[in-house]
Structure 1
C-alpha cells in the first residue's frame, strides 16, 4: 500500500494497525519540490504488488491540493485502487469520483460541508466494489440465510450498520443540499478569494510566516508567529473573537517532520466570512507582536 507524506493521523493509525495485523507493507510516496505528491516518484514505486494508494486531497496542515487525477491514472495503470480522503475538501472544492478518477472517497460531514459531527460520506465506485469487503457487518448490511451462512447486500448499504443517528443523517443531507443549491463552483471561488486575501495580508505582517505548500492551494491557511506557540496564538486570537485552530505533529507526522515544524495556526475562512472580517483577523495577528 502507498501513502503520501501528508497522510493524516486518522488514516495512518488504522492503516498501520491493519498492516501489522495482516502483514502488508506501507510505503510513503515522496513529495515534489512544491510539496505535493511527486507523480513521477509514484510511477517508479507503483507496480502489480500495490493494491491501494491512499491520497489526501487537501491535508489538514496546509493549503495544498494534491493532483488527484494524475495519481489515479498512475495507480490504475497497474490495477491499484485509489482511496481519496476528502475530509478537508468536501464542501469547499468540487469532489466527484467520476471527474477525479478515484475508486473510493471518504469524507466527514462536519468540516467544510458544515454538517453534524458524527456523520460522513463513503463513495465506492461500482468498478471497485467487487474487490472490497466491509470489515464490519450486521443485520443491516447482511442477511442470516442459514445456520452457518451469511449473505451480504449487493448495494451501497453493505457499508452501513443498523444503528445510526437518523437526526444527524438528516442534518448531513440538509447541509449537502444547501451546498449544492449555492453551487460548489461558486463556493470554491469565494473560499479561494478569501484564502488568497488572508495569505496576502499575513505575508505583510513582520514575524509571521505563511506555511502553505503546493502548486494549487485550498481554503486552509496555515502560519506561525515567531517566538509564539501556536496554541497560545490561537487562545489570544479567540479573546478577540477570531476563531482559529491548530495543527500539530501528531496529525501529519511525516510532512511536519520533513518540514521541521511541530505546530501551526490554521485559519479556514469559508464563503460566509466577509473580506472585512479577513482583514480584521490579519490586524489582530499583527497586534500580537
Structure 2
C-alpha cells in the first residue's frame, strides 16, 4: 500500500492554510486540481457560452463516466450524473413498482430522507417498511435480516455509512444475502465514496448513490447513480426528459437503454467535469491508503476524547469510520460548534432528523457534535482540536 504524502496533499489543499476542517462528512475541502478545473470551466462559460463550452469540453464530460466506473469497478454505461446523492437515490428508489403487501427492508440507522421516501411510497402503494434490528454493535443484524426475508420482500435498502455515529454497516454481507435470495439491493454510499474502496461486484448491490461534495472532495451540486446493467431497463425513472428518452411521435417515446435514463438534460456541467477530476485524484491517492489513514485518525481522536472530562463519544459499530460523534455533558452541541469555530476548527452538529430511528433507540435526545476527518488532516490538527475541547 502506498503511503500518503501528507505534505503534498496539504499543499494541494489551499483551505488547510486557514482552517482545521473536521467537517468532511458535510463537505470536504477540494484539492486545488478540482477547484481550478471548476473555475476554468466556469470562466469558459462566462466568455464563450454554456452550450459552446459543453461542446468544446465534451471529452472531459465523458471522462466523468469512465472515472466513476473505474472507482466502482463498473461499466461507464451503468453510471448517471445526478445533482446530489439524495436525488440519485430517489431516481432509483421511486422507479420500483411497489404494490400492496410488498416489503422494503432497511436499518435502524437509515438516513432520514430515505425513511421519508419509504414512508411516502408505503402510504401511496400499500407497501410495508420493515426495519431490521441492530446487532450488539449497533449495525444491521445479518441473522435478523435473513430471517425477515420471504416472498413479500421486494427491496433491501440501507446506508453503508450512516450520517452520524461512526458506524460502517456490513454492506458486502448484506449483498451476499440479497443475491442469495434474488432481492434487489439499493446502497446509499453517500458517506463511504472517497472514504473506503467501493467495488460493486464485491458489495453485491444493484444500485448505489453517491454525492461529490463529501469524501470524494468534489464540488457541491454533484453526485452520481450506479445501476447494474441487468436492472437498467427494468426500472422506469420517475422523471423523464428529452435526454432520458427519445420522442418518436405524438404518442410514443423510447427510454434510452443506459443509466443516463436517470439523468436530466440540464445539469451542473462544470461540476460534472470537476467531479471526474476529484475521482481521478482519489484514485491516484489510493482508496485503501485513504481508508487506513482516515480510520486511524478517527481512532486517535476517539481515544483522546475518552480522556477528557465532560466528553462522551457516541459512536457505534464493529468497524468505525472517519465520522466521530460526541456530546458535552454541560454544553449544547451548538455551543461546542461555535466555540470550536472561534478557534478556526470546523465541525458540524446533528440534532437527530438524519438518524431519527437510531437516535430514538439510543435515547439521544440532545444533539451531537460531529467531527469528521479526512486523509489531509494532520496529527497536530488532532492535538489542537483535543486541546480546545479540554478548555471548554
TM category, shorter: over 0.9
2:95 matches 1:2 = no
Residue 114 (structure 1) aligned to one of 197, 217, 220: 217
Post-superposition Cα deviations, 1:230-271, rounded to whole Å, max 9, x if no partner, equal: 111111111111110011211111000000113111011111
Kindly indicate whether the alpha-carbon contact (under 8 Å) linking 2:315 and 2:324 is maintained by their aligned counterparts in 1.
Answer: yes
2:331 matches 1:232 = no
2:374 matches 1:273 = no
TM-score, with length taken from structure 2 = 0.72
Equivalents in 1 of 2:172, 2:196: separation in Å? 14
For 2:230, the equivalent position in structure 1 comes to: 127
Kindly indicate whether the alpha-carbon contact (under 8 Å) linking 2:351 and 2:368 is maintained by their aligned counterparts in 1.
Answer: yes
For 2:158, the equivalent position in structure 1 comes to: 55
Post-superposition Cα deviations, 1:122-161, rounded to whole Å, max 9, x if no partner, equal: 0011132243221111100001112211100001211111
| 3-state secondary structure, aligned to 2:346 | coil
Kindly indicate whether the alpha-carbon contact (under 8 Å) linking 1:141 and 1:160 is maintained by their aligned counterparts in 2.
Answer: yes
**Superposed, which structure 2 residues align to 1:215-254 within 5 Å?**
215-254=318-357
For 1:200, the equivalent position in structure 2 comes to: 303
Equivalents in 2 of 1:25, 1:224: separation in Å? 35
Quote how far apart the aligned CAs of 1:172 are: 1.0
For 1:32, the equivalent position in structure 2 comes to: 135
2:99 matches 1:12 = no
| 3-state secondary structure, aligned to 1:51 | strand
Quote how far apart the aligned CAs of 1:282 are: 0.9
Quote how far apart the aligned CAs of 1:76 are: 2.3
| 3-state secondary structure, aligned to 1:66 | coil
As a proportion of its length, which structure holds more helix? 2
TM-score, with length taken from structure 1 = 0.97
Equivalents in 1 of 2:257, 2:333: separation in Å? 48
For 1:98, the equivalent position in structure 2 comes to: 201
Of residues 95-104 and 123-132 in structure 1, the stretch that sits farther from structure 2 once superposed is 123-132
For 2:99, the equivalent position in structure 1 comes to: none
Which structure exhibits the higher relative contact order, with contacts defined as CA atoms closer than 8 Å and separated by 6 or more residues?
A: 2
Equivalents in 2 of 1:15, 1:173: separation in Å? 31
Quote how far apart the aligned CAs of 1:15 are: 2.1
Quote how far apart the aligned CAs of 1:18 are: 2.1
List structure 1 runs of 4+ shifted beyond 6 angstroms: none
| 3-state secondary structure, aligned to 2:230 | helix
| 3-state secondary structure, aligned to 2:327 | strand
Quote how far apart the aligned CAs of 1:24 are: 1.0
Equivalents in 1 of 2:115, 2:213: separation in Å? 20
Quote how far apart the aligned CAs of 1:69 are: 1.5
For 1:181, the equivalent position in structure 2 comes to: 284
Equivalents in 2 of 1:88, 1:115: separation in Å? 13
Quote how far apart the aligned CAs of 1:30 are: 0.5
Equivalents in 2 of 1:218, 1:204: separation in Å? 20
For 1:152, the equivalent position in structure 2 comes to: 255
5+ long unaligned stretches in structure 2? 1-103
| 3-state secondary structure, aligned to 1:77 | helix
Equivalents in 1 of 2:268, 2:375: separation in Å? 28
Kindly indicate whether the alpha-carbon contact (under 8 Å) linking 2:207 and 2:225 is maintained by their aligned counterparts in 1.
Answer: yes
For 1:70, the equivalent position in structure 2 comes to: 173
Quote how far apart the aligned CAs of 1:17 are: 1.5
Residue-pair matches, total: 288
For 2:268, the equivalent position in structure 1 comes to: 165
| 3-state secondary structure, aligned to 1:285 | helix
For 1:287, the equivalent position in structure 2 comes to: 391
Kindly indicate whether the alpha-carbon contact (under 8 Å) linking 1:209 and 1:224 is maintained by their aligned counterparts in 2.
Answer: yes
